Amino acid sequence: MVSLPPRKISTSAASSKLDISPYQVLVQMGFPKKRVLKALAATGNRSVQLASDWLLTHVNDTALDSEEPREYILYVTPTGQLLSQIQEFREKSKSICGWNGAHNAPPHITIVPFFKASDEESLNLAVAVKHAVEKVGPQPSCPMKLETYVSPNFIGLFISEEYADYFKALSLQYVKEIQAKNLDPLVKSLHMTLAYHFDISAFDSLKSLASQLELPDIANWELRLYSRDPRFNNYQVYKVNQGYSPKASDELELVIGDFIYIEESQFDGSVDGWVHGTSWLTGISGFLPGIYVQRTAESDAWTLHRAISLGHKNCAECKSSDSETNTYTAMSNYPHEDAAGLAQEKSEETYQEWEKYWHEVQNDRSESILRITQGTSIDWKSSVGRGIGDSESSDSITTSTGTESNSRRWVFAMRHGERVDLTYGQWVPFCFDDNDTYIRKDLNMPLHLPERAGGSASYAKDTPLTRVGRLQARLVGEGLRLAGVPVAHVYASAALRSVETAHSFLEGLQPEAPVKIKVEPGLFEFKHWYMPGGMAPFMTPKELHKAGYNVDLKYKPYVEVDTEVSETLEQFYKRNELVIHSAVKDTAADGGNIIFIGHAATLDLMVYALKQFGKKRAESGYQISKNLLRVPYCALGAMRDKPWQVVSPPCPPSINSSSGRFDWKILLDV
């Protein structure tokens, strides 16, 4: 037999498959070239999956083949304590005078105004942001002086000369990078708007509010490139907070989390509360009930193409000074806090997939994942909504350090671990036989399930954790133990997944004194979400104890929850607030740290409730956080008392292939 000579593979041939671009992939999938470019630009060139989802959801968009270019804008945006201060001002100003022009975009300094560019240039425009920062260099580390400017129709902050020169240099360099001949960078009077286009009657109140700002000397900044659909420049943006299925051909389907473009005149001229709008998710237009949407920032419907942190450079002219511990730079006093970029890209991909997965399995009641063979692709329905309502503004960012008084209690909130139903879909028909006996069909499924009233029917509506979910919870307990932070009081939602999370958390914590789980129905999720499919009765404490869970049989819940009756969002908040406030007060004499183990919303509920601790308000104003779908399994949020402050948890977050890495700082926006 003739021996086969070795083949020398060229480098270009070996890498050809790796170099294939998202554009080429989508074209090979059969999508028209112009539509591919439009989809990539509309989704920020993030991924093939996002772009293909956009194309599929916009298949009935009448403007899909329009050649009108997108509009781009380059902002410098603050982060950290300065951002918190401005957000707090804006929220308070909203309560004083209602919506004004500043509420339509995040706090920012515009350095390149809106300009149009073809979809072909989208990726190059994003790359140019990075090149501009690399060539101009990091921001000055000198203290930045912010000067408040007040007039009858504008309130804002003007920045010091050194920072203004730096931002102007970024602006000039970016325009140079994109070779825009007819584009003028903004190099005069760089400022950050606090309020404008407000009623003159609110001027004195806004002026007084601006005088109360405590602006930091040092701020961190990001350079951000956004784009928008120019068809809706003069429209207001509303977020869908209640779903709706059309009953007539001219009505618009509403998907929770979608954004709707609506002209202001629609509300003024409506006689029945119905308005005409266009869906951001699908591009389809139609009539909708106005009460099902809530106004939000126009920028919520923009696309973020690139965000780059502007670091500090040494400034020989500036004297160093000691900083207080509640500055943004002090947030890294825990070793894990200097790893903000760790697994960032993976987390972002996971959050996007999680949103699609949630709507596919939970909302659309899809075919079980167990029916899908390995390697078969899933044509997910796109869902790019980011939450259900707006959050209130944040207080200043603070951290806890070793110099703090040990008398300050920790109060934690944690989401449950990975759940079976959202991992496998409709799992019960495959895992229970004709005798209603549980049969384990996957290594990540529970080894066994305890007996409960309702059997498999109850498990279908009150899911247990996966084996990975139990491990996730145990790791958090272990993390607090290794950080030397004990927990004396554990409250868990009555959902089985939360009780199991609490049980595994305590296994990792290994407390010196026995700690039992206080099963609290008042911590359960928003019941309104469950009414279409119904809820199962919660397992009783006796059932849980018999099954081996470490529950406190003597505990009397603060709230009893009727699983057959819906509730309003205000009622949902009030019962959680009652539990959180009562637990804090009732354990004050004994002392010891507290943890509330519940659901994704439990984290921002804890922050919102404790910020209202001791205050009396007829209506809470609570809204589900826009970051709800960015709270991964076993995400841990932390606060400390005296005074109540959101702080970094004392142990690191975690990430695995099915869960994102939790960024605790999103609680600062609550």
Does the annotation count 197 as an active-site position? no
Q: Kindly report the three-state secondary structure assignment for every residue of 6-53.
A: CCCCCHHHHHCCCCCCHHHHHHHCCCCHHHHHHHHHHCCCCCHHHHHH
Does the annotation count 191 as an active-site position? no
Nearest by Cα to 260 from 296, 227, 233: 296
Distance in angstroms between the alpha carbons of the first and the last residue of the chain: 74
Tell me, what DSSP letter sits at residue 587? T
191-196: strand order across its sheet: 146-151, 154-159, 191-196
**What is the C-alpha to C-alpha distance for residues 522 and 619, in angstroms, rounded to an integer?**
19
**What is the C-alpha to C-alpha distance for residues 63 and 616, in angstroms, rounded to an integer?**
50
**What is the C-alpha to C-alpha distance for residues 132 and 174, in angstroms, rounded to an integer?**
5
Q: Which of 35, 305, 416, 630 is catalytic?
A: 416
Please confirm whether the linkage preceding 643 is cis (ω < 30° from 0). yes
CB crowding 374-403: b at 16 or more within 10 Å, else e: eeeeeebebbbbbbbbbbbbbbbbbbbeee
**What is the C-alpha to C-alpha distance for residues 366 and 180, in angstroms, rounded to an integer?**
48
C-beta of residue 138 within 8 angstroms of C-beta of residue 220: no
Residue-by-residue DSSP string for 216-256: -S--EEEEEEEEE-GGGTT-EEEEE-S-B--SSTTBPPB-T
Query: Which residue shows structure tokens 């009756």?
Result: 565
In 3-state terms, what secondary structure has residue 448?
coil
C-beta of residue 484 within 8 angstroms of C-beta of residue 509: no
Q: Which of 306, 419, 599, 661 is catalytic?
A: 599
Query: Which residue shows structure tokens 């339509």?
Result: 104
In 3-state terms, what secondary structure has residue 191?
strand
**What is the C-alpha to C-alpha distance for residues 520 and 348, in angstroms, rounded to an integer?**
33
Q: Give the count of beta carbons closer than 10 Å to the beta carbon of residue 414.
A: 32
Does the annotation count 415 as an active-site position? yes
In 3-state terms, what secondary structure has residue 613?
coil
Q: Which of 191, 359, 415, 661 is catalytic?
A: 415
Burial of 615 (0-12, 13-18, 19+ CB in 10 A): exposed
Nearest by Cα to 446 from 470, 430, 462, 429: 470
Catalytic residues: 415-416, 599
